[in-house]
């Protein structure tokens, strides 16, 4: 093991108050020439003991410290919404809302050291050079302002210096610096004309007006192609995300409901025609609504509908037929015969009607009418898919239900109304796309990751007030907002989806007495563009691949996992705070993290689809991201270290024991060992309790002794036959095995490493796949080489393989080109998987892993997160072995009808 | 069907308060429509009009007289009942069912007010299906009544000569409180294919809330004097006065009905009621026109007949609907209106007295030009509750 963090780079500690931050900063600078900001995607895990000082020149670091220190004075760089190297900003200035889409650049931040370079070479992976990607890595941010508060928007742009980036790649840190006269910002929407002078005056930028329709279509096409599960249906209060086949996307009807309504037939990128529209749109709802209810805002008017009853306003079929249905033509008594048909009453005036009822009646009238006209137009052009967007919808459940109902009713189920999660941002995104060379056209779904920062559960993407200055402000905001907002964000029990029968569209689903303005709205996160993510090439059929084993749309499952995560939270906060030295600052950040994550959980309990399609993998990753947001980069660092050390200490004895066995017994013992060692999992409550009862080795031994075949899922015999053959027939060894490892400590050291050794011994190249970023106590790709190096001290097989794989850097340095050294053994390599979650979505893995997979013919997934929660049902093109101990009673019951500590050894030969 | 020529003077007493021999009702959500027949001559087997058009040579009882049309507000159904009471249902009125007199009726109110009619007038409302009646009424009018249908384009009313062999299929759009769109393929052959809740009731209901008008007609009157530009957001308002040529929208096209009333510094009272009424009328007419066209297109129908009480021969309404159909169909489809637009259902109910079906029941006499309803292109149809009556005889076979 390398020296602990406190002894690293002592020169930095003098400059920085916080060693952790300082080192982090340095790494950034090293990679990005000092231009880096603080938002971290694949931010290197720092401060962990495994970094070897030899891998980085100190000179650069000190330089970096100055740069970093300079940046440190502008703490905004620490913020997720704070940008460093801005490329572009685009605007859609509508009548009621201004939508901003801006891009902040963030390179692939993984460390590019010698070790890694040699790994890349070995894998035939030629570069880490971003220029080879058509798009820069970075983030797309989505922000809204009310048009009447355009000054807030201007302040926001100014404070973030968003208007500077367009013409200059270098950030300017002095906001009062000279302005580029030629700066141009792409804009669309009516306000692009109206506010052009204001932008010129305040920010010194010219708005370059883009055609509204062009922008809408470009925005929609991008979202539908690049974002998985962007579209969803909304029927009878139930949201369902739709995965579209990109080859079958076109043609479709895009219905944009702004003040008026445009219906656009879209045949391809840039190929579209406005085929219809209606003047009865969002402006009509808001205009008439304002006249009739005196509401002051669109949202206020929309909110009224939640308590409305339109039967006091509308003439229903039942009113005409004395309560009876007109069943002959399929009209139920509650079908609206005539909108506002009841307000002709002589005895009543406007003041006698409830504004709630009026608003609801108006909303139904307009939504239904739009749905009907849309369907008729879709029918006319033979379009089956209708996407609705525009400011009118706002993720409002009742609006979407009404539109869907109309489309469903008139098409008799043939056509489908779909909505877009980013519906409000179509125009702004399209304007953004109109910049030349943004490269976004080439982005594919697997290169995009959406993350939900701290404010997401509260604001739904809307900005309230000025941007937050630094982490401190952010924490303060969290503290204040949580206090102030408790009653507004209090969880509301989920109501069962309401029923809306034929024509009988009853009162909308109530969300309870208290409701914030956009409670039903979908939350839009920050879109991370990570160009070097790829689809794992060994997936049998990426199109049907679904990472999550358990469907969280089952409400009981959702509730269970929320409870698990909530219960685990205090322990996690303790660990996190301890990992940062238990300082007051760490405690404060820990509290803020707990609040922020609880807020996410509450929001998701209240609206499970608020963040899009939610799987357990997403939920677990959300937690890790939230920790990182509050600068806890590795909460389990010290635990991982301790366990690695303890396990490495007993590894030699274990290897001796194994080497004394015959082939067959050894293979079984190895698999037993992997399963037994998988008991060490800080993510599992049951295991955390176990830790208090014994030492690691005791638990490991006990666990292995308890291994009783047959296991709950037991394909060991098939695996053995593939490995050892039967009778005299000796099978050809695998060429290369990819081992997805799980936890630090015994799990990787006593479980997976011996298995890797066995494969190496049989002539199979081994690639250990670790996380790019920490997640609980999972071992990361950064930590793995040092573990291997340490283990190799006692084992020739591992040493030669590690040398061949370039893991032993010093050896590499000593050898001129290293080629001779390598040839002596099949290599053992380490590759990062591109994610920072205990689970893995194989549609989005690092390009290194994808490269490593090209020659692989065996995949071994280990642990609950990667082999059970996700990928249990994944099919591969090559042989696949899934190994895990089930450390959760409920999961054991649900998946295998089994019980806690059951083992899974699932072997599936190549397809 | 050949129109019967009545002897001169045969209709000399038709305007008198003759007893009602046959009455049919269409009680909608907003209006109750009456069609009734008052005979001036009873023509029995022994006292028959000797004419070439004797009804099929059958031995039948034929009544000669006039068909009258009247309407009442449904909420004032008592006025309607009083009116019927004053007219006294005559002895010729069929009374085949039970004790009371039978009156054919359609519309939702036929169900809703059945008990009331029984109590006040001692009549049983015999309910006829609403769509059946609408279609029967429209078919009769389009086939039998000269100059029933007309187009209205650019302020010009033009009667349409309809070749009866070429009548079907057509789209019948009945604009009552709500709107029904019916594809008609022949007598009794039809299907309700679409509809919308944005209809006459919406115009009146919203209009009443916005303007405090006391009647539908008052609201219509207001709309005549309004300017919708104050209320509606036009394409030009968004694009700085220029047309959005790229998609074929002129600067005067309405981008968003009522889109200008979102303005924060004005409230309802700051708008002229005339302008609000105008905007509302245009919104609803245009929407109906568009939906009707899209529905017609779907079934390949080129003729669209608009009926129902919403229209009332209102020029602006008809013009808006016509423009909408013309605009969306690029001139391929034609909106047509009917002189007896409001009475399709009531007429249909009336015709259901004939047990053999609606055909060959009402036989029109040559229409007297002096009773032709007048359309001068600007003023609404005559304002009194009595609409132009039709000289005819009934074949009571």
Indicate yes or no: CB of B29 within 8 angstroms of CB of A320: yes
Chain A residues with CB under 8 Å of B197 CB are 314, 336-339, 341, 365, 368
Contact B358, B331 (CB under 8 A): no
Average pLDDT of B118-139? 89
Write the pLDDT tens digit of every residue in A179-206.
Answer: 445 678 899 987 888 888 999 999 888 8
Distances (CA, A) of A598 to A482, A490, A563, A621: 10, 11, 11, 14
Q: Report DSSP state, residue A866.
A: I
A81 — pLDDT class (breaks 50, 70, 90): very low
From the number of C-beta atoms within 10 Å of its C-beta (0-12, 13-18, 19+), residue A114 rates as middle
Q: CB distance B267–A294 less than 8 Å?
A: yes
Instruction: Give, in words, the CATH class of A637-908.
Output: alpha beta
Would you state the pLDDT for residue B397?
A: 58
In B, which residues are within 8 Å of A410 by CB distance?
194
pLDDT category of residue A264 using cuts at 50, 70 and 90: very high
Taking an 8 Å cut-off on Cβ atoms, the answer to whether A290 and B261 are in contact is yes
Min Cα separation B157/chain A (Å): 27
Question: CB–CB of A337 and B204 under 8 A?
Answer: no
Q: Which residues of B fall within a CB distance of 8 Å from A314? A: 197
Mean pLDDT along residues A53-79: 26
Minimal Cα distance from A213: which residue of B? B247
Whether the predicted pLDDT of A22 surpasses 60: no
The pLDDT, as a whole number, for residue B365 is: 63
**Does B108 contact A260 at a Cβ distance shorter than 8 Å?**
no
CA distance A41 to B111: 68
Q: Is A461 left (phi over 0), alpha (psi -120 to 50) or beta?
A: left
Residue B396 has pLDDT above 90, yes or no: no
Cβ contacts (< 8 Å) between B245 and chain A: which residues? Answer: none
Q: Do the chains contact at B291 and A376, CB–CB below 8 Å? A: yes
Confidence of residue A705 (pLDDT cuts 50, 70, 90): confident
Lowest mean pLDDT among A501-505, A850-854, B79-83: A501-505
**Residues found in chain A:** 911
Nearest to B259 among A274, A283, A376 (CB): A283
CATH architecture designation of domain A231-304+360-420: 2-Layer Sandwich (3.30)
Q: What is the mean pLDDT of residues A470-496?
A: 48
Of the pLDDT bands very low, low, confident and very high (cuts 50, 70, 90), residue A456 is: low
Per-residue pLDDT at A496: 27
Residue of A nearest to B215 (CA): A344
* Token pair of A697 as six digits: 């080795």
SS3 content of chain B, % helix, strand, coil (to 5): 35, 25, 40
In this prediction, residue A603 carries a pLDDT of 83
CB atoms A287 and B177 under 8 Å? no
pLDDT score, position A629: 86
pLDDT tier for residue A325 given thresholds of 50, 70 and 90 = low
Residue among A193, A260, A321 whose CB faces B240 most closely: A193
**A320 chain-B contacts, CB cut-off 8 A:** 28-29, 107-109, 112, 177
- Looking at the partner chain, which of A258, A328, A339 has a beta carbon nearest the beta carbon of B202? A339
Nearest beta carbon to residue B256 from set A284, A321, A344:
A284
Residue A634, CB half-sphere, CA atoms under 13 Å: how many? 28
Q: What is the mean pLDDT of residues A342-350?
A: 86
Residue of B nearest to A257 (CA): B256
Band (pLDDT 50/70/90 cuts) for residue B171 is: very high
- CA of B253: which chain A residue's CA is closest? A279
**Over the stretch A216-255, which tens digit does the pLDDT of each residue have?**
999 999 889 888 888 999 888 788 888 888 788 899 999 9
A315: nearest CB among B196, B201, B209: B201
Q: Which of B259, B278, B299 to mutate to test the interface with A (most CBs of A within 10 A)?
A: B259
Banded model confidence at residue A521, pLDDT cuts 50, 70, 90: low
Q: What's the pLDDT band for B317 if we cut at 50, 70, 90?
A: confident
Find out whether A803 and A115 touch, Cβ atoms under 8 Å. Answer: no
User: With 50 as the cut, is the pLDDT of residue A500 above it?
Assistant: no
Q: Judge whether residue B184 has pLDDT over 80.
A: yes
Nearest by CB: A288 against B194, B196, B258: B258
What percentage of chain A has pLDDT greater than the value 90? 36
Q: Which chain A residue lies closest to B244 (C-alpha atoms)?
A: A211
**Chain A residue numbers touching B129 (CB-CB < 8 A):** 328
CA distance B106 to chain A (A): 10
The shortest C-alpha distance from A147 to chain B (Å) reads 12
Where does CATH 3.30.420.40 sit in chain B? 20-134+342-395, 149-231+271-338
> Residue A174 and residue A16: Cα distance in Å, rounded?
23
Contacts with B202 from chain A: Cβ below 8 Å: 338-341, 365
Cβ-defined contact of A341 to B30 (cutoff 8 Å): yes
Give A132's strand partners: none
pLDDT at residue A131 above 80?
A: no
Taking 50 as the threshold, does the pLDDT of residue B19 lie above it?
Answer: yes
The minimum CA-CA distance between A305 and chain B, rounded to whole Å, is 17
Please give the backbone phi and psi of residue A421, each rounded to the nearest 5 degrees, phi first: -65, -35
B395 pLDDT band, cuts 50/70/90, is confident
Question: Does B7 score more than 80 pLDDT?
Answer: no
According to the model, what pLDDT value does residue B387 have?
Answer: 63
Could you tell me which residue, B286 or A490, shows the higher pLDDT?
Answer: B286
pLDDT in tens, A96-114: 778 888 887 765 444 556 6
Give A388→chain B minimum CA distance, Å: 17
Residue pairs between chains A and B whose CB atoms are closer than 8 Å: 206
Give the closest of B112, B198, B208 to A344, CB-based.
Answer: B208
Which residues is A845 bridged to in the sheet?
A534
C-alpha to C-alpha distances, A205 to A91, A148, A181, A426, nearest whole angstrom: 12, 20, 7, 23
CA distance B182 to B171: 6
Residue B214 C-alpha, separation from nearest chain A C-alpha, in angstroms: 7
B274, pLDDT greater than 70: yes
**Nearest residue, CB atoms, B108 vs list A292, A321, A365:** A321
pLDDT tens across B323-338, in order?
888 888 888 888 999 9
CB-count burial class (<10 Å; 0-12, 13-18, 19+) for A299: middle
The band of A785, judged by pLDDT with boundaries at 50, 70 and 90, is very high
Q: Does domain A477-495+546-632 have CATH number 1.20.1700.10?
A: yes
pLDDT score recorded for residue A182: 63
Q: Give Dmax (Cα) for chain A.
A: 100
Cα distance between the two ends of chain B = 17
Residue with tokens 């009808």: A897
Q: Do B177 and A283 touch (CB under 8 A)?
A: no
Distance of alpha carbon A673 from alpha carbon A655, whole angstroms: 11
Q: Comparing A423-427, A545-549, B69-73, B250-254, which segment has the lowest mean pLDDT?
A: B250-254
Please report the pLDDT score of residue B4 as a whole number: 33
A377, B129: Cβ pair inside 8 Å?
no
A231-304+360-420 matches A477-495+546-632 in fold = no
Which pLDDT belongs to residue A470? 64
Range B20-134+342-395 classified under CATH 3.30.420.40: yes
CB burial class (10 A; 0-12, 13-18, 19+) of residue A245? exposed
Of B290 and A498, the structure prediction assigns the larger pLDDT to B290
Helix/strand/coil for A186: strand
Q: Is the pLDDT of residue A80 over 70?
A: no
**Could you give the percent of chain A with pLDDT greater than 70?**
72
Three-state secondary structure readout of A139-169:
EEEEEEEEHHHHHHHHHHHHHCCCCCCCCCC
Q: What is the distance in angstroms between the CA of the first residue and the CA of the last residue of chain A?
A: 41
Residues of A in contact with B181 (CB under 8 A): none
A260 contacts B256? CB cut-off 8 A:
yes
Does residue A759 have a pLDDT over 70?
yes
Q: pLDDT (tens digit, 9 = 90+) per residue, B34-75?
A: 998 877 654 444 444 444 344 444 445 677 788 888 888 888
Closest CA to A780 of A897, A624, A553, A609: A624
Q: What is the mean pLDDT of chain A?
A: 77
Tokens 């790019």, residue located: A772
Q: Per-residue pLDDT for B90 more than 80? A: no
Whether the per-residue pLDDT at A586 is higher than 60: the answer is yes
Q: What would the mean pLDDT of B115-134 be, rounded to a whole number?
A: 88
Domain B149-231+271-338 has CATH 1.10.3720.10: no
Residues of A in contact with B246 (CB under 8 A): 211, 213
- pLDDT tens, position by position, A786-800: 999 999 998 999 999
| CA A667/CA A755 separation, integer angstroms | 8
Predicted pLDDT at A301: 92
ipTM: 0.82
CA A371 to chain B, closest CA, distance in angstroms equals 11
A27: confidence class by pLDDT, cuts 50, 70, 90: very low
CB–CB of B247 and A350 under 8 A? no
Task: State how far the Cα of B43 lies from the Cα of B37, in Å rounded to an integer.
Answer: 14
pLDDT tier at A20 (50, 70, 90 boundaries)? very low
Among the listed ranges A107-111, A508-512, B249-253, which one has the minimum average pLDDT value? A508-512
- Using the predicted structure, report yes or no on whether residue A568 has a pLDDT greater than 70: yes
Higher pLDDT, A778 or B237: A778
Q: What's the rounded mean pLDDT across residues B20-24?
A: 81
As beta bridge partners, residue B303 has B334
Choice among A455-459, A501-505, A535-539, B216-220 with the minimum mean pLDDT: A501-505
Give per-residue pLDDT as tens, B356-384.
665 667 777 655 444 444 433 333 333 34
Q: How far is B297 from chain A (nearest CA, A)?
A: 8
- Which residues in chain A are contacts of B177 at CB distance < 8 A? 315, 320, 337-338, 341
Of A685 and A16, which is predicted with more confidence? A685
Residue A508 DSSP code: P
- Collect all residues of chain B within an 8 Å Cβ-Cβ radius of residue A258: 256
Domains of chain A, residue spans: 5-78, 231-304+360-420, 314-352, 477-495+546-632, 637-908
Q: Does pLDDT of A293 surpass 90?
A: yes
**pLDDT beyond 60 at A821:** no
Contact A336, A357 (CB under 8 A): no
- B49, burial (CB in 10 Å: exposed 0-12, middle 13-18, buried 19+): middle
Asked if A339 lies within 8 A of B283 by C-beta distance, the reply is: no
Question: How confident is the model over A428-444, as pLDDT tens digits?
Answer: 999 988 886 566 666 67
pLDDT (0 to 100) of residue A656: 92
Lookup: tokens for A569: 């939270």
Measured in angstroms, the CA of A275 and the nearest CA of chain B are apart by: 9
Residues A398-431: tens digit of each pLDDT = 889 889 988 988 888 888 899 998 888 889 999 9
Q: Mean pLDDT highest for which of A88-102, B267-281, B306-320? A: B267-281
Q: Whole-angstrom Cα distance, residue B72 to residue A245?
A: 58
From the centroid of its chain, how far is CA B338?
A: 7
């Amino acid at each position: 093991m390398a020296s602990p963090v406190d002894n690293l780079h002592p020169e930095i500690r003098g400059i920085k108050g916080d060693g952790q931050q300082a080192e982090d900063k340095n790494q950034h600078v090293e990679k990005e020439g000092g231009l880096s900001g603080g938002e971290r995607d694949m931010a290197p895990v720092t401060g962990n003991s495994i970094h070897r000082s030899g891998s980085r020149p100190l000179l650069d670091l000190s330089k970096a410290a100055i740069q970093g220190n300079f940046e440190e004075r502008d703490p905004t760089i620490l913020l997720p919404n704070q940008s460093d190297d801005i490329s572009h900003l685009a605007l859609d200035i509508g009548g009621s809302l201004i939508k901003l889409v801006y891009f902040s650049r963030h390179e692939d931040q993984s460390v590019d050291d010698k070790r890694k370079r040699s790994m890349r070479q070995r894998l035939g992976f030629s570069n880490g050079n971003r220029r080879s990607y058509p798009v820069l890595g970075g983030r797309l941010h989505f922000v809204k302002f009310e048009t009447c508060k355009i000054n807030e928007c201007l302040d926001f742009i100014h404070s973030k210096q968003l208007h500077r980036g367009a013409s200059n790649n270098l950030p300017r840190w002095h906001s009062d610096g000279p302005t580029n006269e030629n700066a141009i910002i792409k804009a669309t929407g009516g306000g692009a004309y109206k506010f052009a002078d204001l932008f010129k005056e305040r920010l010194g930028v010219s708005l370059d007006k883009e055609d509204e329709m062009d922008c809408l279509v470009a925005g929609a096409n991008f979202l539908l192609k690049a974002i998985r599960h962007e579209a969803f249906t909304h029927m009878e209060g139930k949201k369902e995300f739709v995965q579209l086949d990109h080859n079958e996307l076109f043609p479709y009807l895009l219905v944009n409901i702004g003040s008026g309504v445009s219906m656009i037939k879209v045949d391809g990128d840039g190929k579209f025609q406005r085929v219809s529209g209606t003047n009865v749109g969002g402006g009509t709802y808001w205009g008439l609504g304002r006249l009739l209810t005196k509401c002051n805002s669109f949202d206020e008017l929309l909110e009224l509908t939640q308590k409305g009853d339109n039967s006091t306003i509308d003439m229903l079929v039942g009113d005409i037929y004395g309560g009876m249905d007109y069943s002959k033509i399929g009209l139920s008594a509650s079908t609206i015969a005539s909108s506002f048909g009841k307000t002709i009453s002589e005895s009543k005036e406007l003041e006698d009607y409830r504004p709630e009822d009026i608003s609801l009646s108006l909303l139904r009238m307009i939504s239904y009418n739009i749905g009907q006209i849309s369907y008729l137009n879709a029918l006319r052009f033979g379009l089956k898919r209708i996407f609705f967007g525009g400011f009118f919808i706002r993720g409002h459940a009742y609006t979407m239900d009404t539109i869907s109902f109309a489309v469903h009713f008139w098409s008799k189920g043939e056509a489908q109304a779909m909505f877009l999660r980013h519906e409000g941002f179509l125009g702004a995104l399209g304007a953004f796309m109109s910049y030349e060379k943004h490269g976004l056209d080439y982005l594919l779904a697997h290169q995009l990751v959406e993350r939900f920062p701290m404010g997401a559960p509260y604001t739904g993407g809307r900005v309230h007030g000025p941007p937050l200055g630094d982490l401190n402000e952010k924490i303060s905001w969290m503290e204040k907002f949580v206090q102030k907002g408790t009653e507004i964000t209090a969880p509301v029990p989920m109501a069962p989806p309401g029923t809306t029968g034929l024509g009988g569209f009853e009162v909308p689903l109530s969300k309870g007495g208290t409701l914030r303005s956009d409670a039903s709205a979908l939350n839009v996160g920050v879109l991370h563009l990570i160009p070097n993510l790829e689809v794992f090439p060994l997936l049998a059929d990426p199109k049907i691949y679904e990472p999550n084993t358990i469907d969280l749309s089952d409400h009981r499952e959702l509730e269970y996992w929320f409870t698990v995560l909530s219960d685990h939270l205090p322990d996690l906060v303790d660990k996190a705070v301890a990992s940062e030295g238990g300082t007051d600052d760490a405690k404060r950040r820990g509290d803020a993290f707990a609040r922020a994550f609880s807020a996410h959980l509450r929001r998701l309990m209240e609206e499970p689809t608020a963040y899009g399609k939610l799987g357990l993998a997403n939920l677990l990753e959300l937690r890790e991201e939230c920790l990182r947001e509050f600068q806890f980069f590795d909460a389990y660092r010290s635990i991982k270290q301790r366990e690695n050390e303890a396990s490495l200490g007993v590894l030699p004895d274990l290897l001796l024991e194994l080497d004394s066995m015959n082939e067959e017994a050894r293979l079984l013992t190895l698999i037993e060992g992997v399963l037994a060692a998988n008991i060490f999992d800080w993510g599992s409550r049951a295991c955390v309790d176990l830790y208090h009862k014994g030492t690691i080795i005791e638990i490991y031994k006990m666990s292995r002794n308890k291994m009783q075949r047959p296991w709950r899922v037991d394909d060991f015999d098939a695996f053995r036959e593939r490995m050892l053959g039967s009778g005299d027939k000796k099978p050809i060894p695998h060429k290369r095995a990819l081992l997805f490892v799980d936890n630090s400590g015994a799990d990787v050291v006593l479980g997976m490493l011996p298995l890797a050794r066995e494969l190496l011994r049989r002539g199979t190249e081994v690639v250990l796949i670790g996380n790019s970023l920490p997640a609980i106590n999972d071992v990361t790709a950064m930590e793995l080489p040092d573990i291997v190096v340490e283990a190799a001290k006692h084992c020739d097989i591992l040493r030669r393989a590690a040398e061949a794989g370039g893991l032993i850097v010093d050896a590499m340095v000593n050898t001129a080109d290293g080629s001779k050294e390598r040839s002596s053994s099949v290599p053992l390599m380490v590759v990062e998987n591109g994610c920072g979650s205990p689970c893995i979505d194989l549609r989005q893995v690092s390009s290194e892993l994808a490269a490593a997979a090209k020659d692989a013919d065996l995949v071994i997934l280990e642990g609950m997160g990667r082999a059970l929660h996700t990928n249990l049902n994944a099919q591969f093109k090559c042989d696949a072995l899934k190994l895990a101990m089930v450390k959760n009673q409920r999961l054991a019951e649900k998946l295998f009808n089994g019980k806690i500590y059951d083992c899974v050894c699932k072997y599936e030969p190549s397809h | 069907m050949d129109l019967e020529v009545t002897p001169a003077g045969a209709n000399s007493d038709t305007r008198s308060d003759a007893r009602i021999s046959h009455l049919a009702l269409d009680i909608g959500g907003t209006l109750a429509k009456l069609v009734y027949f008052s005979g001036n001559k009873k023509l029995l087997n022994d006292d028959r009009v000797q004419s070439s058009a004797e009804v099929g040579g059958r031995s039948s009882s034929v009544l000669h007289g006039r068909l009258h049309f009247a309407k009442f507000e449904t909420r004032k159904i008592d006025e309607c009942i009083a009116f019927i009471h004053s007219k006294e249902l005559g002895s010729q009125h069929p009374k085949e069912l039970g004790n009371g007199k039978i009156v054919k009726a359609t519309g939702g109110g036929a169900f809703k007010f059945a008990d009331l009619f029984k109590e006040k007038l001692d009549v049983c409302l015999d309910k006829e299906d609403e769509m059946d009646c609408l279609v029967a009424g429209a078919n009769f009018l389009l086939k039998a009544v000269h100059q029933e249908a007309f187009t209205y384009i650019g302020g010009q009313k033009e009667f349409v000569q309809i070749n009866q062999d070429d009548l079907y299929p057509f789209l019948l759009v009945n604009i009552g409180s709500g709107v029904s769109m019916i594809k008609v393929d022949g007598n009794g052959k039809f299907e309700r294919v679409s509809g919308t809740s944005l209809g006459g009731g919406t115009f009146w209901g919203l209009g009443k809330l916005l303007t405090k008008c006391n009647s539908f007609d008052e609201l219509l009157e207001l709309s005549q004097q309004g300017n919708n530009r104050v209320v509606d957001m036009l394409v030009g308002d968004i694009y700085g006065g220029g047309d959005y040529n790229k998609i074929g929208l002129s600067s005067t096209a309405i981008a968003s009905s009522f889109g200008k009333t979102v303005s924060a510094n004005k409230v309802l009272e700051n708008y002229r009621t005339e302008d609000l009424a105008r905007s509302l009328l245009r919104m609803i007419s245009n929407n109906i026109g568009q939906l009707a066209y899209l529905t017609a297109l779907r079934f390949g129908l080129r003729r669209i007949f608009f009926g129902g009480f919403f229209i009332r021969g209102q020029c602006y309404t008809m013009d808006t609907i016509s423009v909408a159909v013309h605009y969306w169909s690029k001139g391929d489809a034609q909106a047509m209106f009917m002189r007896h637009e409001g009475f399709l259902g009531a007429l249909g109910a009336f015709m259901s007295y004939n047990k053999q079906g609606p055909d060959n029941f009402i036989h029109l006499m040559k229409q007297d030009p002096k009773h032709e309803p007048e359309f001068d292109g600007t003023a609404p149809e005559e304002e009194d509750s009595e609409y132009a009556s039709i000289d005819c005889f009934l074949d009571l076979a």
